[in-house]
Copies of this chain bind each other. A is one copy, B any other.
Amino acid sequence: MNSEEITNWLKELQKDICKQLEIADGTQNFVTETWERKEGGGGITKVIKEGSVIEKGGVNFSAVYGVAPDFLFKEKEHSISEGVFEKPSFFATGVSIVIHPESPMVPIIHMNIRYFEMSNGVKWLGGGIDLTPHYVNKEDAMFFHTELKKVCDKHSKNYYSEFKKWADDYFFINHRNETRGIGGIFFDRLNSNNEMTFEQNLAFWKDVGSAFAPIYTELIKRNKTKSYTSENKKWQLLRRGRYVEFNLVYDKGTKFGLETNGRIESILMSLPKFASWEYNFIPEPNSNEQNTLNLLTKGINWVD
């Protein structure tokens, strides 16, 4: 696949995911906005709000290009034209998703897959899916990780353990000493390696994107009718506060977007409709809240 084919595949993926999420929500549809980037390219932002399941969610496609930022290449990689260093141009495309459900019993989910190439021939794939349950439910966590492991195992025996660890390390709120949720998989700068060609990694990457909708709609189905209390709702808003902390303090995509004059509304569509902070909130011992906190730690094995 060339970059145009990858771009078109991502656009179709965006449409398909939105369709699946609309069916799972049952009441609201996505609203579409297209936008252009002054320096080159643009995107299609699709947002949904106040659905019966999804309180606020976004599925964002973008494809941008221009002169590559300096930190992405070494001078010796430049093409030289008449003695002058010519900076390579870049092309980047991807789909990013964050879904904040109304019910504290339904988990928050995030997915991103991205493709990057430069005119100097460098190219890579990146991506990840991670789950942030307001209350960690072991069966759901095992289902989630087992499904991701299946996607990985289809392509490489090493990828699940490698990318699960990468997600544990990446989705970590250092100042709270807790993981954002139960992790998932995360990978970056995949091209080819000892066992996989670029095309084989591309097939893996596409499977990650395609796995999102069936996994999340299953988690919605399992949890959307569960009853909850105002205490559950209060806890949900506190957990969303942590989500905001992660995204604004650590998330590389968010930081990159804020620093490079990206489209703010598309970048910050990841933030929840409502979040809350309470000074020094400490859950009751052995409560569901405390049990969830106990599981927000790296290195838990969620598969057999």
Which of A's residues lie within 8 Å of B, judged by CB? 33, 47, 49, 56, 58, 174-176, 237, 241, 244-245, 248-249, 258, 261, 264-265, 268-269, 271-280
**With contact pairs A175-B258, A175-B264, A258-B249 given, residues A279 and B274 touching in the complex (Cβ less than 8 Å):** no
Contact in complex: A248, B244 (CB < 8 Å) = yes
- Please measure, in the bound complex, the distance between the C-alpha atom of A174 and the C-alpha atom of B241, giving whole angstroms: 22
Establish whether residues B241 and A271, one from each chain, have CB atoms under 8 Å apart when the complex forms. yes
B264 touches A271 (CB 8 A): no
Contacts A49-B279, A244-B275 supplied; 6 other A-B pairs, CB < 8 Å: A56-B279, A176-B264, A245-B268, A271-B277, A272-B277, A273-B277
B275 x A58 contact (CB < 8 A)? no
A259 to B271 CA separation, bound complex (whole angstroms): 23
Partner of A273, one of B58, B268, B276: B276
A58 / chain B contacts, CB cutoff of 8 Å: 279
Q: With both chains docked as a complex, state the minimum distance between the C-beta of A280 and any C-beta of chain B, in angstroms.
A: 5
Q: List residues of chain B with CB within 8 A of the CB of A237.
A: 274
CB-CB under 8 A from A265, the residues of chain B are: 279-280
The 5 residue pairs across chains A and B that have the minimum distance between CB atoms: A248-B248, A271-B277, A175-B258, A265-B280, A47-B279
Residues of B within 8 A of A280 (CB): 33, 47, 265
With a cutoff of 8 Å between Cβ atoms, the chain B residues found around residue A271 in the complex are 241, 277
In this complex, what residue of B is CB-closest to A237? B274
CB <8 Å contact, B269 and A279: yes
Partner among B33, B174, B274 whose Cβ is within 8 Å of the Cβ of A275: B274
Which residue from B33, B248, B269 sits with its C-beta under 8 Å from A249? B248
Determine the distance from Cα of A245 to Cα of B133 in the docked complex, in whole angstroms.
Answer: 23
Give the CA-CA distance A157 to B181 in the complex, in Å.
54
Bound together, the chains give a CA A109 to CA B212 distance in angstroms of 43
